[in-house]
Structure 1
């Protein structure tokens, strides 16, 4: 086994690997702890009911987060009556929810804060002051809103603003009206809560409720205890899913890049220690013993780094969770639950990753011949092997193939092929860097000085002689520039293209968009004269599988906006993807379940392309409003012939350009995508920064003899430092150029693919600030990791010995 003394002696060589393993294990530990933690708990407004019954889920494909389809009205009524008659049940309360919002109070899309008063019995809080609502215009609301009994307030509902009198206040959130008023504003029922008599057993009641649900034939799921967390808002579930994607990507990227850095570091270390390994072979060391020695070094570094990383991940997980909550990648109220076995598994993973990274280097060390001990020169005579040539060219071929495939692929595979392009070209160029160094470095090194002098010559010859060292420095710069620029440029290009597509798909001169509300009420669209051009958004559930589908209720203006006739009563327009999934065709009778739980058989009037409209189904507006009293319009467009919008105060609407609305419609999703992007870029840049710094630090520390010879040969400290800095600048410039060589085909392939898929002109958008930032960061870090150690060495024995000779 390798001793700690050996690790201390070669600390510069192992520093990068140690930091990479520690950081990787910390990220994996934090990610695992957050992913394995539970949700936000039972919603407050339902936490007072020990047993809850929810409607059965429809079939959801992919990352869909729609509410479960509601029960049919008759089934909901029968089931509630059966549940109310169970032993130990005091009452069975149907939860009715609808859109309600106090002007000026923020509310997210899809939130339904309004409820019938009977639902208040299910909440974990009760009345603070006043009394329950009795008249139709009475309302009870959260005391935190600042209103008291007797106040007259205006509340926005889907139909428009309504005036209410505050009859009481609550100790928690929500707007509660009479059950009769709530019935008119609510669609279907998805949850029935059971309040229990004194001393009744919740598990026993839950078992009886399961039998009642099964006998009723309407289906449903009985929830008790922590299982009631499943009733958290779907928005929270979507937020957690997005956060899980971020954490999973971070953990996977962390493990991959850790292996890359460890393997690069040990490969460079083995190349530096050829003479040492040759001496060991001379005195009788076997190849197996050399392999064992290198693996022992990796295991020691990996174990130490993994231990530090596991403890750091455990300590930082709560802070990381708070950052994710603040960023919108985890819902409010989320908290990390500690699990002791997670850091233990992460520690073992870190050691295994270190061994995996050093395995190839250990095999290379075992092939060192005893005659290597006789070599003094640092010339890399054969940096390229046949296997390396074949692998590099194969990787580049695969990358180019992915770039070509991207130009003709669909939206589902475009991102994967784009990443394949980047990974293939990056891997190929990294393998071929040793073949490029000698012919290219001369051209890049000459401009370092205004005259051809000894320093420029020294830079060129040092880089061309020590090809392995130069390649090890260029590779992480190449990776940094490639992924930082490609990820950010791809996001910018895609966002711009999607905005252009949405704006081009609708024939309108302006848009009436929500302002401070999750959608437009009927009063807002009617008051502006644009109700015929409004898109009333709802969710319907298709076929016997009752899979959720996004739908819009439209009027006569739909044909002016999208060029397709609006569906008439009893008909529906569907997209090709939906038609294919459900086996529908033009003229087919489609069975749809609406928000009130009722079913309709509608004739398919037309099948449109998936890009023709921003919804999966298009329905008559009157049909949507009948079945979904809380539906809000996403937008109402003004066409050229319409009169300008008349300002309607207090309804949460304003007129904007069509392009502005198209950009803002996905603003929250774009924000989360950019947060995701920045986190991945920061992690990639951080890892490659470790690789750049550790490689240059190791290389500089190993060149003490070279620096001493330069000083004894008459070079000044400034000349030596200029030579070291010149090598670093050349390496960074070459890495940046190769990085852009990778980015350009990947980005052009994606641009062509977007043009084919979206049918609109798409231009490549290069994130130049990120180019400057990535290259500048590598340059500053590289100079710090090479010049500063060289300066320290020159102030040591080399510098003192030169001063003595001069004296």
Structure 2
């Protein structure tokens, strides 16, 4: 059987090219994914940056620890408390203490972060030009020495650059002069006025003595643990997690589409070779021998393609690692390590995919009867295909109903809306022959000769039509489902924000800052307005005694909040909110008005609060509400302004602009446009990668099946030429048939996407969100157009090459 398989591959190499390329690319991507995951798992911990030369760093407690029966549960605090003054005083008795402060500075180079000058020695920074700042209006900057002597206008006042610095040990950074941050150093006195609170400091003393002194009031960091005092210490692990999710999703989609393409290609190849198998049966071949022949072909193609894919992946992995690091999807230091298991996993997965894709085709080939050589293929759907398609369709329907009735919010999660459509897509592809015949007849209902021939060809060759339409169905359905889901969710979140916001104006401070008391007094003095200052905060609750759940929230005064915001409540009233209560949403385990819940506030303070009102679950943006007293340390980052009767909006806008200082004053409509929800960068790149993989495989499958189908119809083309059809008419027929198949596949894919989005809108309705269905028509049109162009080219070019021969020769007749 292996000899027969090798000879078949040699004579029918064009038919197996698509499977080879699809498997090769799939294994290459799986190799890259495996190498990236293995390298991220063994990635080194990031070393300290700002405090690389500091002996001991004392950092205020920024972690909440809650004991549970299965161990302590931890979470990051939203508002860590400053270091107690008594602790700082006690540490000064042990040795020199340098207080650290960090605050954003707007103006000058982008992303400036302010620090006191005395902390520059701990990075350590080298003064490359100029001198240290001595007065309140002098600063030292990291970066280009040419800035020396310039004056900068910032939100912290106008300052003069008297020195420039370069950090040691960052020669390989993106900007070696700047290093890991864009820092501006003020005098210690000026920095203390700009940021009075102290959350961390450096102590030159014995670490053991420092630990005894601080006790449990702060964290003592030494060695590599000093990185926890840097800005955003978890950014590397978060980037690696996002990268792993991106590559994991890509690997899953690759495996799914690879099986789909290989199975479709082998099924089409077996259907084309039906008469060949029937003749083998006539000469004495058993069904088992036929099956083993097909599986041997798949094994050979799979082994060669998997080996080539591993080699290709080993070359692509380092380049991809450099690219994702440059794009900020991975830490700048991320590289591919020396690992072997990803190659084994990718190779054997590719081989398994090839065998899995050919198994169903081999059983169909083994059932070929000897008399099949004497009759045409009926093209009816096989019982096994009908059974599998029906089972998958019922599974998709039942799981959707169960999710809608049990946990509709699960449909809004990224893992769910990426994986769930694949079940329905597979079912639709398996059952496509049931609807392709009437659908193609509808698409070719024009009373023309070409339309009649296309209608006859697609109706009689249903199996061939299904094989060509399947990859188009997969791509259009994925594009419609994934992009449509994200667009629908964004539109639903925007509708929620619009329904909640009733204020005429919304004020926001510069990023990273908040409104101070003086600004609030000026804003309250603006006539004809009611203002509602709110702060971002968070609370934690222990559910089921073991799960510490964080809920984002806002701190607001109840009366002002009710005047500027319309909260989507299911029970209770906003006016019932007070310092002893909280407003929760329907996702909380306990969410009945009047119940008391134990929570931990943003600074870790435990409180037992009464539930004053309950919000709808919504899309997940309906957080909790507390009073400002229950959000200690939270800065005011938004002010809603409502107009009183008779107030002039233009005059109020002018007065607010004067009183807000550096803050932005936006109308309600402008604020809604500025904060319109957008898909985050990692998710967007992940979706584009998934769709790119699907489109690539679609191109491979469409081109392969079109070429195979054209070569198999050489005699049909010859008969048309002998019957009087011109060369141009035959080419038009081939192109029209390809367009009809693509249109049928696109319509089926659109139907699948519509069903998926209908389930999403049902979930949104159950979550009390106004559904706003959004179809990505532009992306769908682009995808369908690309498939159509590729299909027409793959059908017309082989047909034109075949028509170069004489019709009699093409038909196998003597001239």
* Mapped partners of 1:27, 1:684: distance in 2: 13
Measured after TM superposition, the shift of residue 566 of structure 1 is 7.4
User: What is residue 562 of structure 2 aligned with on the other side?
Assistant: 559
Q: What's the counterpart of residue 435 of structure 1?
A: 434
Deviation at 1:600, TM superposition (A): 6.6
- Taking the aligned partners of 1:286 and 1:228, their CA distance within structure 2 comes to 69
Q: 1:548 to 1:446 in 2, by over 3 A?
A: closer
Query: Which of 653, 658, 666 is equivalent to 1:644?
Result: 653
Q: CA deviation at 1:286?
A: 4.2
In structure 2, how many angstroms separate the alpha carbons of the residues matched to 1:307 and 1:793? 34
| Range moving further from structure 2, 648-657 or 265-274 | 648-657
| Structure 2 residue aligned with 1:391 | 388
Change (3 A) 1:267 1:236: same
Q: How does 1:301-340 map to 2 (within 5 A)?
A: 301-325=301-325, 329-330=329-330, 333-340=332-339
Distance 1:257 1:526, change over 3 A: farther
Label 1:791 to 1:367 Cα distance change in 2 as closer, same or farther (>3 A): same
Query: In the alignment, what sits opposite 2:119?
Result: 119
Q: 1:486 aligns with which of 481, 490, 498?
A: 481
1:697 is matched with which residue? 707
- Match status 1:608 vs 2:614: yes
What residue in structure 2 maps to residue 770 of structure 1? 779
Please state if 1:412 is matched with 2:410.
Answer: yes
Secondary structure of the equivalent of 1:533? strand
User: Would you say the 8 A contact 2:32–2:313 is kept in 1?
Assistant: yes
Distance 2:538 2:554 in 1: 8
Whole-Å separation in 1 of the counterparts to 2:311 and 2:227? 33
| Residue equivalent to 1:202 | none
The aligned residue for residue 200 of structure 1 is none
Please state how far the C-alpha of 1:465 moved relative to its aligned partner.
Answer: 2.2
Return the offset for 1:254: 0.7
Q: Give the corresponding residue for 2:246.
A: 246
Measure the CA separation in 1 of the matches of 2:31 and 2:229. 26
Question: Which one of 106, 110, 120 corresponds to residue 106 of structure 1?
Answer: 110
Match of 2:9 in 1: 7
Contact 1:520-1:652 at 8 Å conserved across structures: no
* Number of equivalent positions: 762
Contact between 1:45 and 1:125, CA under 8 Å: does it hold in 2? no
Shift of 1:469: 0.9
**Contact conserved, 1:592 with 1:599, CA < 8 A, in 2?**
yes
Residue aligned with 2:125, SS: coil
Aligned residue number for residue 380 of structure 1: 377
Question: 1:268 and 2:277 equivalent?
Answer: no
Are 1:508 and 2:464 matched, yes or no? no
Unpaired runs of 5+ residues, structure 2, are 69-73, 167-177, 567-572
Task: Say which SS state the counterpart of residue 796 (structure 1) adopts.
Answer: coil
Other structure's SS at 2:536 match? strand
1:691-712 deviation line (CA, Å, top 9, x unaligned): 2221111111222233234334
Distance 1:138 1:211, change over 3 A: closer
Alignment of 1:783 with 2:786, yes or no, is: no
Distance in 1 between residues matched to 2:623 and 2:805, nearest whole Å: 73
2-structure distance, mates of 1:470, 1:546: 54
**Aligned counterpart, 1:16:** 18
Contact 1:500-1:659 at 8 Å conserved across structures? no
Q: Which residue of 2 aligns with 1:199?
A: none
TM-score where L is the length of structure 2 = 0.80
What is the alpha-carbon distance in structure 1 between the residues aligned to residue 13 and residue 210 of structure 2? 68
Give the match's secondary structure for 2:639. Answer: strand
Superposition deviation, residue 262 in structure 1: 0.8
- The normalised TM-score by structure 1 is 0.81
- 8 Å Cα contact 2:534/2:639 also seen in 1: yes
Output the CA distance in 2 between the equivalents of 1:371 and 1:327. 61
CA distance in 2, matches of 1:542, 1:429: 44
Classify 1:722/1:756 alpha carbon distance in 2 versus 1 (closer, same or farther; 3 Å): same
Instruction: Find the aligned partners of 1:345 and 1:123 in 2 and give their Cα distance.
Output: 43
SS of equivalent to 1:431: helix
| Distance verdict in 2 for CA 1:283–1:537, change over 3 Å | same
1:111-161 residue CA offsets vs partner (Å, 9 max, x unmatched): x93334443333143333444456666543324496436x665543xxxx4
Root-mean-square deviation over aligned CA pairs: 4.4
Deviation of residue 791 (structure 1)?
A: 0.8
Q: Partners of 1:758 and 1:519 in 2: how far apart?
A: 34
Distance 1:385 1:591, change over 3 A: closer
Task: Name the SS for the 2:445 alignment partner.
Answer: helix
TM-superposition CA deviations, 1:542-567 (whole Å, max 9, x none): 67998655343434632312356579
Contact 1:33 1:337 (8 Å CA) reproduced: yes
Does the alignment pair 1:795 with 2:775? no
Change (3 A) 1:795 1:236: same
Are the equivalent residues in 1 in contact too, given 2:593–2:614 (CA < 8 A)? no
> Which residue does the alignment assign to 1:497?
492
Distance 1:535 1:801 in 2: 80
My pick for the range that moved more, 166-175 or 72-81, is 72-81
Indicate conservation of the 8 Å contact 1:521/1:632, yes or no: yes
Whole-Å separation in 2 of the counterparts to 1:65 and 1:145 = 42
Distance 1:599 1:435, change over 3 A: closer
